[in-house]
Amino acid sequence: MNFENIILEQHDGLAQLTINRPKKLNALNKDTIQELHEAFKALEDDADTKVILLTGSGEKAFVAGADISEFAHFSEEEGKHLAKQGQEKLFDFVSNLSTPVIAAVNGFALGGGLELAMACHFRIASDNAKMGLPEVSLGVIPGYGGTQRLAQLIGKGKAMELIMTAGMISAEEALSCGLVNYVTPQDELLALGEKLASKIMRNSSVAIAAAIRAVNDNYVDGVNGFETEIEEFGACFATEDFKEGTTAFLEKRKPSFPGN
């Protein structure tokens, strides 16, 4: 696949997606969102891809925000369409992938950039990372799921503060409030991502996909996540991965999951 704004590299079950607009601090424009959608869809359909690592090019930014020049003169209806289409095409799409996605935040993750990181299944950050949702300083609010996911991840009160002040927090602050899982020196960030990916890939990809669905359903209005867990738990018993996993445990050996 050929892309203008992203770089895709694959090896040993790991796909690394790098947003590559360094002169724009990797800001998300319409074309980049479309390319990311296409790349994520292709990787989701690729049985050989077990984990996706998402990062930004250069040392300054993961994604410094959305490309404001594209929508500065939008009408109300155009604004609604922008948010709806963006959520469906990229942010909700990533959140609901059955392939685990790790965001490696290397520098600024602001506005749409932080929203993209939050759509991933979890996040790691370099020690120079800065994160925030500055939209209210432009007279608008986060539109790519930021008001929802930030509160889910760090709690309502802290989310309200960050959104209303339009402030940025450091990597260490993000770690302390649960926005990221790990902080590491920038030159060790991708190595940490690969290490976590290798741990994930030892396990059943079929079971991991089921776990993602169950966890996500806790945040869907009108859906009982506990019921989803029961259904997914039961469904696992019919899989070859379950048979191999339990047999390997009883035989005191490492499993070789058919689903992988």
Q: 254-259 long-range contacts, Cβ below 8 Å, gap at least 24? A: 254/202, 255/204, 257/203, 257/204, 257/205, 257/206, 259/204, 259/205, 259/206
Per the rule left: phi > 0, alpha: psi between -120 and 50, beta: everything else, 166 is left
Cβ–Cβ contacts within 10 Å for residue 60, how many?
A: 14
Q: What angle do CA 225, 227, 233 make, to 5 degrees?
A: 100
Known catalytic residue at 115: yes
Contacts of 169 (CB under 8 A, 6+ apart): 130, 131, 132, 162, 177, 179
Whole-angstrom CA distances from 208 to 10, 97, 201, 213, 234 are 20, 11, 10, 9, 14
Tokens read off for 252: 């005191």
Tokens read off for 177: 């409030």
Beta bridge pairs of residue 254: none
Which listed residue (4, 70, 135, 232) is catalytic? 135
Residue 78, Cβ density class (10 Å: 0-12 exposed, 13-18 middle, ≥19 buried)? exposed
Which listed residue (70, 77, 115, 251) is catalytic? 115
Which residues are designated catalytic?
115, 135
